Amino acid sequence: MAPKAAAGKEKLVDDDEEVLQAVILADSFNKRFKPLTADKPRCLLPICNAPLLDWTLESLALAGVQEVFVICRSHADQIKAALQNSKWSRPASGLKIVPILTARETLSPGDAMRDIYTHGIIAGDFVLVYGDLVSNVRIDEVVRVHKARRRTNKDAIMTIVVKEAGTTHRTRSRGESAVFVLDRDTAECLHYEPVSGYPPKTLARIPREVLDEHPDIEIRNDLIDCGIDVCSVEVPSLFQDNFDYADIRRDFVHGVLTSDLLMKNIHCYVAREGYAARVQDTRSYDAISKDILSRWTFPLVPDDNHPGDVAYEHLRGNKYLPKDNSVVLSRTCKVGRNTLIGPASQIFADAQVAASTLGARCTVGARAVVRDSYLGDDVVVGAGCVIENSIVGAGVHVGAGTRIARGALVADGVRLGAGSRLLPFERVSRRRPVKEDGEEDGAEEEESDDDSEIEEAEENQTQLSSLLGPDSDAFVWPRKSGKGGNEDEDELENFNNARLMRLGKFRDDFADLDLSDPGSVTSSSGDSDESSDDDSVIQNFSPSSSTTSLPFAAAAISAGEHAKESEFRSEVRQSLERAFAEGHALDNAAVELKTLRMASNVPLARVREAVVERVVESIALVDGAGPQRVEIKRWVDRWGPLVRLIGGVDGVETVSILQAHCAGSSRLPLFGQILAAFYQNDIVEEDDIRAWHAQPAAKGAGLKEGPQLENMQKTWLVGARMIHQFNEQESSEEESSEAEESGEGSEEAEDASEDEDEDKEDEEDEEDEDDEDDEDGDKE
């Protein structure tokens, strides 16, 4: 097919009205949508109820492209079938679409370009796009500019379409963006600086030599790379010559601009009008869906030019309903703004749907809430479910009362039993039968290198899926941890950077990622100003919430672990708060914590820290010793045992944690009372307290001067007093036991309990004194 196309081309090239060719790279070359892309390619994922590829084709048709080559790699048969069935293959479509299969070894856009070269299908200037583009930019205008430039400058081989936006624009990928250095007058791209979100980039380096010839330069950090390139015919051959070019931007553009030999120029076209963006990750999926619904992509909107075959009606508040009146809405249901509801869907009483898209034939049960989420076709949402900020594939059955937290991805066909709970950013796919044979032909996204991951997940499946309800048919994917990733993993795809590209990420979620300049660490060193340049790279990441971490823990751990741990910490906090508020059973809460721990792979001590912290902080500060005592008892009695239930009993550590937490918290005066309460609930033993007290760290050894040290010492003194009491009791106990030596052993138990009661009172008195002492101390 390819040679034929080329032959047909040649005749036309000479004509003034050259046929405009386009190449669509219908493969993403990454796995950001896993597991949604397990059984179908990304370009066939629906966005606003039409496959991405159709949006792309629509965009190209709008731009006057006449001939399109679709480079397919994974699930090529599906893409071919989709193309054949789409309206584009009808004779009157005006688009000639040629699917081209490439080898499975095509691992990068660069490989695909080399493939294009070998096929010899390109005759002239062509438009290169990805199969996940949504655009209404006049690409023909870009082509015209490009050709005009080519007439005077043969070396201008490529024009990149970029869109003006702000630095923090929602469709601008936070994890993967770039700084363009352009000539002010000619828009020639002089330098391309890729920027990754994590680890944060601190310096942009612009070669000085560009200044020699270009006295006026603009540095643009506000451009969205639309992934639309108008290329000249020699571009594929350049890829062929430089076999190490993989990525079009980071390798090709960078290579061409830095090469002293090639002497080629690349220009940018800064689109001021129109809309163009790529669905590069789940985050941009969310952003672009919302952009379509709020009509930025006009004329590509659901009620006009919708690539799917359904005609929608645009209602006030950007709600879209099918024109055929097939949707059944209950009288009491609520449909919010920016919502698209597919044909034949049903929404039952008191259900709420807002800022979401629903596929065809979806059912939303009574009292269910669907917010900021994207549901595929035939999804059944049971009564009372809550789905937030998630993508749910086609045919998913969500049992009643299920909660799907933000950022979750649910692949096609999954059954979630009633009452399931998906944690934030959980990824779930259908439980796969034991190693089916058909795996080779499908599922490129999760082949070979993922096998180990899957196996590992299988082992933990009981752990991971413990929150799923009965009758679930789901496979919970393990969460990737910060350091576990493969060595050869792409820099851009590293865990922390990928986090920036996930759906459902709001500003506070990044607090743990240290996105400000690392130079800030040295800022305490006073005079060395030059090195102490601290500047938060992205202004609006509030750094405030990092205060949840304990001071001594935070210092020791490295950035990556730190990131993971504080994410974990915030999730533990949420989970516990929910448990406290909703009064879960202790066992359930413990299971949830264990799952979280498994998922994030953090040491047990961190879990204990988090639990102690939560319990202590939940105790309200009440005036008066009596009510305060009651308050403490209430919390510790109810939730204290959780510390034991999470496993790995270590009383000494518990006391240390309690101490460290109290020393840095407003609950400092309560330390003695809480410790006593712990003791009474058998969370810590007497020996533990003694062992803790003997540790040098308990006295605050190794801490710097400051309030923390003072508080540590104060708490240590409280402990000392308590031990003193123990000693006294022991001696009295000894006395009494000596006295009753002849008595029966069975009485001892009673004695003990009596003693305990006494202890309690003693301690409480003691504590009251302590409180006073503390207050005195404060006054001093």
Partner 1 sequence: MDFEESSSTKLASREFLAVVLAGFGNELLPLTSDHGDEPCPKALLPIANRPMIDYPLTWLEQSGITEVLLICPTAHRSRISHHIHSDTSSSSYPSLHVDVQTYDETQNLTVGTCTVLKHFSHRIQQDFVLLPCDFIPPAGLTLTSLLNKYRIESHLDGAIVTACWYQAQRPEKGAVPEDWGSAPTAIPIVWDRQSGTLLHVDTLDDLDRNGEELELRMSLLSRYARTSLSSRYQDSHVYVCKKSVLDVLHRKAEFDSFREEFVPWLCKLHYQRTKQQKYSKTLQPSQANVSQVLALRHSTLYSGLTYGGHHPPDDSTDSPTHKPMPLSGPPSPIGHIDDGIPAVSLRVGLIVHEGGFAGRANNLPTLLELNRHFLSLTTYALPTDPENRSLINVKSQISNDSMVGTSTKVGERTTIKRSVIGKHCVIGRSVRIVGCILLDHCVVGDGAKLDGSILGKNTKVGAKAELVRCLTQAGYEVDAAGSFKHEKLEISDWTAGRDEDAGNEESDSGGDDETDEEE
Q: Which residues bind partner 1 (CB under 8 A)?
A: 136, 163-171, 179, 181, 184, 195, 200-209, 211, 215-222, 272-275, 290-291, 293-296, 298, 318, 337-338, 355, 506-507, 516-517, 520, 523, 529, 532-540
Strands (E), 459-540: 475-477
Nearest distance, CB of residue 347 and partner 1, angstroms: 20
Q: What is the DSSP string of 269-306?
A: EEE-SS-EEE--SHHHHHHHHHHHHTTTTTTSBTTBS-
DSSP 8-class letter at 263: -
Nearest distance, CB of residue 593 and partner 1, angstroms: 29
Q: Which of 88, 72, 66, 258 is nearest to 143 (CA)?
A: 66
Q: How far apart are CA 389 and CA 357, in angstroms?
A: 11
Q: Which of 43, 38, 48 is nearest to 99 (CA)?
A: 43
Q: Is the separation of the CB atoms in 429 and 477 below 8 Å?
A: yes
Q: How far apart are CA 534 and CA 518, in angstroms?
A: 7
Q: Which of 364, 357, 361 is nearest to 326 (CA)?
A: 361
Nearest distance, CB of residue 320 and partner 1, angstroms: 13
Residue 6 or 195: the one with the smaller Cβ distance to partner 1 is 195
Q: Is the separation of the CB atoms in 519 and 498 below 8 Å?
A: no
Nearest distance, CB of residue 325 and partner 1, angstroms: 24
Nearest distance, CB of residue 587 and partner 1, angstroms: 37
DSSP 8-class letter at 172: S
DSSP 8-class letter at 536: B
Nearest distance, CB of residue 385 and partner 1, angstroms: 22
| Residue 359: C-alpha distances to residues 50, 259, 339, 341, 718 (Å) | 9, 49, 11, 6, 63
Q: What is the DSSP string of 21-62?
A: EEEEE---SS-TTTTTTSSS-GGGSEETTEEHHHHHHHHHHH
Which pairing describes strands 397-398 and 380-381: parallel, antiparallel, or unpaired? parallel
Q: How far apart are CA 503 and CA 480, in angstroms?
A: 16
Q: How far apart are CA 399 and CA 565, in angstroms?
A: 31
Residue 298 or 552: the one with the smaller Cβ distance to partner 1 is 298
Q: What is the DSSP string of 682-727?
A: TSS-HHHHHHHHHSGGGGTTTPPSSHHHHHHHHHHHHHHHHHHHHH
Please give the single-letter amino acid code of residue 50.
A
Residue 201 or 361: the one with the smaller Cβ distance to partner 1 is 201
Nearest distance, CB of residue 223 and partner 1, angstroms: 8
Q: Is the separation of the CB atoms in 572 and 593 below 8 Å?
A: yes
Helix (H, G, I), strand (E, B) or coil at 337: coil
Helix (H, G, I), strand (E, B) or coil at 210: helix
Q: How far apart are CA 397 and CA 385, in angstroms?
A: 11
Write the Ramachandran bin of 169: left for phi over 0, alpha for psi from -120 to 50, otherwise beta.
beta
Residue 467 or 500: the one with the smaller Cβ distance to partner 1 is 500
Nearest distance, CB of residue 247 and partner 1, angstroms: 20
**Contacts (Cβ under 8 Å, ≥6 apart) of 672:** 718, 721, 722, 763, 766, 767, 770, 771
Which pairing describes strands 276-278 and 265-271: parallel, antiparallel, or unpaired? unpaired
Q: How far apart are CA 21 and CA 8, in angstroms?
A: 12
The CA-to-CA distance between both ends of the chain, in Å, stands at 90
Q: Which two tokens stand for residue 21?
A: 């060719």
Q: Is the separation of the CB atoms in 370 and 364 below 8 Å?
A: yes
Q: Return the CA Rg of the chain.
A: 32
Q: Is the separation of the CB atoms in 311 and 323 below 8 Å?
A: yes
Q: Which of 732, 734, 723, 645 is nearest to 681 (CA)?
A: 645
Q: How far apart are CA 330 and CA 315, in angstroms?
A: 17
Residue 215 or 702: the one with the smaller Cβ distance to partner 1 is 215
Nearest distance, CB of residue 529 and partner 1, angstroms: 7
Which pairing describes strands 319-322 and 386-388: parallel, antiparallel, or unpaired? unpaired
